[in-house]
Amino acid sequence: MIKVGIVGGTGYTGVELLRLLAVHPDVQLTAITSRKEDGLPVADMFPSLRGRVNLAFSSPDKADLSKCDVVFFATPHGVAMAQAPALLAAGVKVIDLAADFRIKDKAVFEKWYKIEHTCPGLLDEAAYGLAELNRDAIKGARLVANPGCYPTTMQLGYYPLLKAGLIDAGSLIADCKSGVSGAGRKAEIATLFSESSDNFKAYGVAGHRHTPETSAQLQKFTADKVGLVFTPHLVPMIRGMHSTLYGRLTKDVSNEELQALFEAQYLDSPFVDVMPFGSHPETRSTRGSNMLRLALHRPDNGNTVIVLVVQDNLVKGASGQAVQCMNLMFGLEETTGLTQIALLP
């Protein structure tokens, strides 16, 4: 059994990790930390876990995380970088759900996240945890940087087109929407029910921290300079993410060839569902599951290709993807513990 520790078990990604790992056949939950909730049984805070998780939260100084095989950080940015070096030195593998190791350039990280990076020596070592595009590196890694939710949809949507050299890499447009849970489990006016319900708005239009992460990863797929315009929106739902990706075709290609390109690329990716050409994937078709669904469109058979991508921002966009990485790191089947079917309605 894989002994698992979770740092930061009270947020949305933390409880989602608990939900998934509590029924994982190869996992033994060993420690769950929270300074504020030290000593509180997990099931008292999250009754959905009654009978499944019998641990209590413990403060970080009381939890002996060095006895774990892997530790997940479901914490604000900056926490993992402070604790990862000691855990790695003790032989513990680390998966960070925050952004501490996603961006390789220390200066770029500090510009966007407004904090000092305290262990830049680990940036080059960290494997980027998008399994569909980076399986081999994840399998051999001891430190994984879990991708951001928006970047997951953008990379999986654009990758086949950039790899094949079919679109103009310099004019990518991503119009993306996320449910309110993407903002985290905290008291904040913008995400109060009366503020976010029956409302729709864009944010981060002048610049969003997921832009440098996505651009750097997309740049690996093409020799041309990547130019990405990314606009995120907040929609009045709890879970779910929908990204509408636009690319300008630079080669003569049929719709059938476009569809075949995506189907071939993700043939061996159990959590990417390439739907029939012209489909309209819905966020509810992925709710509670680790599945990402996408579909291709080409208005008037012109030179614009549109990729519609949906996922659950807390599962494939965060905790489910992290468990997917853990499975690869420990030689398990990638789908282990992640075959939940989406909730409908």
Domain ranges of the chain: 2-125, 149-312
Place of tokens 């075959």: 339
Instruction: Answer yes or no: 176 catalytic.
Output: no
Integer CA distances (angstroms), 240 to 52, 281, 282, 293, in order: 25, 12, 9, 12
The CATH number assigned to the domain with range 2-125 reads: 3.40.50.720
SS3 176: strand
Query: What token pair was written down for 189?
Result: 């006016």
68, 119, 149, 325: which one is catalytic? 149
Residue 17, Cα to own-chain centre: how many angstroms? 12
Tell the residue number behind the tokens 């990280």, with chain if given: 109
List Cβ neighbours of 110 (8 Å cut-off, separation of 6 or more): 116, 117
CATH number of 149-312, picked from 2.30.30.360, 3.40.50.720, 3.30.360.10, 3.60.15.10 = 3.30.360.10
Question: Are the beta carbons of 246 and 254 closer than 8 angstroms?
Answer: no
Tens digit of pLDDT per residue, the chain (345 long)? 999 999 998 899 999 999 999 999 999 999 999 988 999 999 999 999 999 999 999 998 888 899 999 999 999 999 999 999 999 999 999 999 999 999 999 999 999 999 999 999 999 999 999 999 999 999 999 999 999 999 999 999 999 999 999 999 999 999 999 999 888 887 788 888 888 889 999 999 999 999 999 999 999 999 999 999 999 999 999 999 999 999 999 999 999 999 999 999 999 999 999 999 999 999 999 999 999 999 999 999 999 999 999 999 999 999 999 999 999 999 999 999 999 999 998
Tokens of 110: 């500090």
Distance (Å, rounded) from C-alpha 32 to C-alpha 38?
A: 10
Query: Which sign, positive or negative, has the C-alpha torsion 157, 162, 166, 167?
Result: positive
